[in-house]
């Protein structure tokens, strides 16, 4: 058969042959299409930051990736075989930019074909600011309460401060860095522990350390009552003498004993003893605290008062014992008023 005969034979019923070829290709396409499937996975987002300008707004830490390919192949792919990343090193000015998410195949994903990868979101808008740094103090974060009757006397944090860096606006607004929660519940004695630091934002980096050493000093709590305007009572004052001037009131700090009613604290007195003084003149008289029953004296003021005595006017018979000083104090309207710190 010569060439012309072969060509003639090939062109016989060519429309039908072309249609048959197209149908065959379409059937093959449909067959391959039915074998394709898709799968969704979530992968971490790797960040490459610059040194002059850094993100000033939060951005997602993960992205969803749609994997499309042969159904028998795509389920071989592990999350670690797909790497999503943002390259921020090329942004060298302030402003908001749409940064594309780059996807990379690794492991088993390299050898699968066909394979389509699509990130959601495909681009992430990020605001950039100039990088700033400074040192700030570290503040403890407490939770709970010490055992009843105990108090936190003092604490120490080592190191007491830390260097931080990040976008300028965040760094300028950061005054300190807090520790993780320090539990106080039930504590009755000194304790020490290592505590992680808590960043106020993921955009801030801790330069020196990520943990600190916290040491607490706990002591048994003592209830105190401070009384102002405590009456100073004169005792053993010679009836022939009287006080030439009004005397200011005193001050006293009391420690109540276990179960003592705090209301009775106002009965406290300071006493000035004038025994053995028989002549008018100026004298320095030491004071003696007289606490109510059930209280102990921690401190009082003044320790000594300076008074002037003169001859009592006639009739002197109405002056007795401590009436003179008490009467003058009452004239001033002085009363004992508790102040509980």
- Which of 269, 264, 285 lies closest to 230 in space, CA to CA? 269
| 224-234 per-position pLDDT tens digit | 788 999 999 99
- Average pLDDT, integer, range 298-305: 91
| 124-159 per-position pLDDT tens digit | 999 999 999 999 999 999 998 888 668 888 999 999
pTM to 2 decimal places: 0.54
Is 80 exceeded by the pLDDT of residue 297? Answer: yes
| 76-130 per-position pLDDT tens digit | 889 899 999 999 999 999 999 999 999 999 988 888 888 889 999 999 999 999 9
Q: Which residue has the tokens 């990343």?
A: 85
Distance in angstroms (rounded) separating the CA atoms of residues 216 and 191: 5
What is the pLDDT, as a whole number, of residue 173? 94
Q: Which residue has the tokens 């993780």?
A: 180
Percent of the chain at pLDDT exceeding 90: 55
What is the pLDDT, as a whole number, of residue 259? 67
What is the pLDDT, as a whole number, of residue 330? 37
Is 90 exceeded by the pLDDT of residue 262? Answer: no
What is the pLDDT, as a whole number, of residue 225? 85
Cα end-to-end distance, the chain, whole Å? 121
Burial level of 316, CB count in 10 A (0-12/13-18/19+)? middle
Q: Are 254 and 269 in contact (CB under 8 A)?
A: no
Sign of CA dihedral 172, 135, 211, 56: positive
CATH numbers and ranges of domains, the chain: 33-121 (2.170.120.30), 130-220 (2.170.120.40), 225-339 (2.170.120.30)
Q: Which residue has the tokens 């700090």?
A: 253
Distance in angstroms (rounded) separating the CA atoms of residues 144 and 146: 7
Percent of the chain at pLDDT exceeding 70: 81
Q: Which residue has the tokens 């990868």?
A: 117
CA 319 to chain centre: 65
């Amino acid at each position: 058969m010569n060439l012309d005969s072969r060509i003639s034979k090939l062109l016989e019923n060519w429309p039908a042959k072309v249609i048959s070829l197209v149908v065959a290709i379409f059937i093959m396409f449909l067959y391959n299409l039915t074998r394709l499937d898709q799968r969704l996975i979530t992968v971490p987002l790797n960040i490459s930051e610059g040194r002059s300008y850094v993100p000033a707004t939060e951005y997602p830490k993960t992205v969803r990736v749609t994997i499309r390919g042969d159904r028998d192949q795509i389920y071989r792919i592990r999350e670690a075989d797909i790497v999503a990343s943002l390259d921020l090193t090329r942004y060298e000015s302030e402003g908001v930019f749409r940064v594309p998410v780059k996807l990379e195949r690794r492991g088993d994903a390299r050898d699968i074909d066909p394979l389509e990868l699509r990130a959601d979101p495909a681009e992430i808008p990020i605001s950039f600011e100039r990088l700033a740094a400074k040192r700030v103090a570290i503040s403890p974060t407490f939770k709970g309460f010490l055992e009843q009757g105990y108090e936190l006397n003092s604490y120490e944090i080592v190191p007491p401060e830390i260097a931080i860096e990040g976008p300028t606006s965040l760094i300028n607004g950061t005054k300190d860095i807090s520790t993780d929660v320090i539990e106080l519940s039930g504590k009755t004695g000194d304790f020490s522990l290592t505590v992680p630091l808590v960043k106020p934002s993921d955009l801030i980096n801790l330069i020196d350390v990520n943990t600190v050493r916290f040491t607490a000093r706990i002591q048994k709590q003592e209830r105190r009552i401070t009384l102002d305007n405590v009456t100073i009572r004169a005792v053993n004052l010679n009836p022939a003498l009287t006080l030439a001037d009004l005397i200011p009131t005193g001050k006293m700090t009391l420690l109540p004993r276990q179960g003592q009613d705090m209301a009775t604290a106002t009965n406290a007195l300071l006493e000035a003893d004038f025994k053995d003084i028989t002549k008018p003149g100026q004298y320095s008289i030491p004071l003696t605290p007289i606490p109510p029953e059930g209280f102990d004296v921690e401190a009082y003021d003044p320790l000594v008062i300076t008074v002037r005595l003169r001859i009592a006017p006639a009739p002197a018979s109405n002056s007795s014992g401590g009436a003179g000083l008490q009467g003058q104090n009452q004239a001033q309207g002085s009363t004992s008023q508790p102040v509980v710190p």
